[in-house]
C-alpha cells in the first residue's frame, strides 16, 4: 500500500495549526493533556505496540488507548487494567494511520524518560507507535508512513531534526526496548534523508 501523504509546506503549516494529520483517522483518546507553558515540540519518539504482544490486527490497541479495552478478553490484558496511556498516532501494519492525540497536546507515551539531559519527554515530544514487536520485521508501508510523518513534523516544528528522532529505548534505557532490534534505523534514516533531499531540489 502506498501512502498518500502530502508533505508540502502548506500541509506542515496546517499540522502546526491544527495538530491533526490530514491522512489519519481521528480517534481521540482521553489520555492526554496540555503541554507545559512554553514547551514546543522538539523530539519525535518511535515506539512499538501489539495486543496481545506479537499479534497484529484487530482493534485492541485502539481500545487500549481509548480506555475501552475489555481486560478479560485476553489474560495479558489484565496487566493493563490500571494503565492510562496513549500515543499521538499509530501506524498499522498496512501503513494506515490512526491519530489519538493532537500534536499540539501532550500524549502519555514516554513515561519516565530523558533525552539529552532533558527529562519528561512527553512535554516536548511527539510519540508514534508502530504496530509491531521487537523481533518482527516492520512493513515497508510502515517505514514509508513514519518517514512521511517525520518529514511533516520536521517541517512543522524545525527543532525536530533527524538527530532528534529517537526510540523509546533511547529515552528510557533499561526500562523500555521498543521499537526493538527489528526496527531498521539505517533504512529509516536513509529513506528520510532521500525525502529531505528530494524536497530541496
Q: Which residues are catalytic?
A: 129
> Residues 111-150: x/- map of binding to Zn ion (CB under 5 A)?
----------------------------------------
Candidates 60, 90, 178, 192; binder of Zn ion (CB under 5 A) is 178
**Shortest Cβ 45–Zn ion spacing (Å):** 7
CB contact burial 45-84 (16+ within 10 A = b; e otherwise): bbbbbbbeeeeeeeebbbbbbbeebeeeeeeebeebeeee
- Which residues 5-44 are close enough to bind Zn ion by CB under 5 A? none
Residue 192 backbone dihedrals phi, psi, to 5 degrees: -65, -45
**What letter does residue 72 receive in the DSSP assignment?**
T
**Site membership for Zn ion, residue 88 (CB under 5 A):** no
User: CB-wise, 95 or 132, nearer to Zn ion?
Assistant: 132
Which stretch, 50-58, 63-71, 91-99, 177-185, contacts Zn ion (CB under 5 A)?
177-185
Nearer to Zn ion, 123 or 178 (CB): 178
Establish if 47 lies at the interface with Zn ion (CB under 5 A): yes
Are the beta carbons of 151 and 195 closer than 8 angstroms?
A: yes
**Residue 92 makes contact with Zn ion by CB under 5 A:** no
Of 47 and 92, CB closest to Zn ion: 47
Beta carbon of residue 14, minimum distance to Zn ion (angstroms, whole number): 27
* CB-nearer residue toward Zn ion: 95 or 179: 179
Question: Which residues inside 145-174 make contact with Zn ion, applying CB under 5 A?
Answer: 168
Longest dimension (CA), the chain: 54
Cell of 84: 492510562
Strands (E), the chain: 25-26, 32-33, 43-49, 89-91, 97-99, 106-107, 114-115, 118-119, 125-131, 165-167
Peptide bond into 79 cis (omega under 30): no
Residues at the contact surface with Zn ion, assessed by CB under 5 A: 47, 168, 178
Amino acid at each position: 500500500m502506498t501512502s498518500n501523504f502530502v508533505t508540502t509546506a502548506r500541509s506542515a503549516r496546517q499540522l502546526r495549526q491544527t495538530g491533526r494529520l490530514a491522512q489519519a483517522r481521528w480517534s481521540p483518546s482521553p489520555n492526554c493533556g496540555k503541554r507545559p507553558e512554553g514547551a514546543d515540540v522538539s523530539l519525535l519518539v518511535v515506539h512499538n505496540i501489539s495486543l496481545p504482544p506479537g499479534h497484529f490486527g484487530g482493534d485492541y490497541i485502539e481500545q487500549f488507548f481509548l480506555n475501552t479495552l475489555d481486560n478479560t478478553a485476553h489474560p495479558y490484558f489484565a496487566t493493563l487494567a490500571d494503565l492510562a496511556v496513549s500515543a499521538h498516532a499509530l501506524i498499522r501494519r498496512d501503513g494506515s494511520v490512526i491519530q489519538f492525540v493532537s500534536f499540539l497536546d501532550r500524549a502519555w507515551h514516554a513515561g519516565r524518560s530523558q533525552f539529552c539531559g532533558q527529562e519528561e519527554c512527553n512535554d516536548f515530544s511527539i510519540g508514534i507507535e508502530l504496530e509491531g514487536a521487537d523481533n518482527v520485521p516492520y512493513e515497508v508501508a510502515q517505514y514509508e508512513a513514519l518517514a512521511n510523518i517525520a518529514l511533516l513534523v520536521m517541517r512543522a516544528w524545525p527543532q525536530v531534526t533527524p538527530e532528534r528522532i529517537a526510540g523509546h529505548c533511547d529515552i528510557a534505557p533499561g526500562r523500555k526496548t521498543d521499537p526493538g532490534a527489528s526496527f531498521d534505523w539505517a533504512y529509516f534514516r536513509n529513506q528520510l534523508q532521500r525525502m529531505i533531499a528530494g524536497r530541496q531540489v
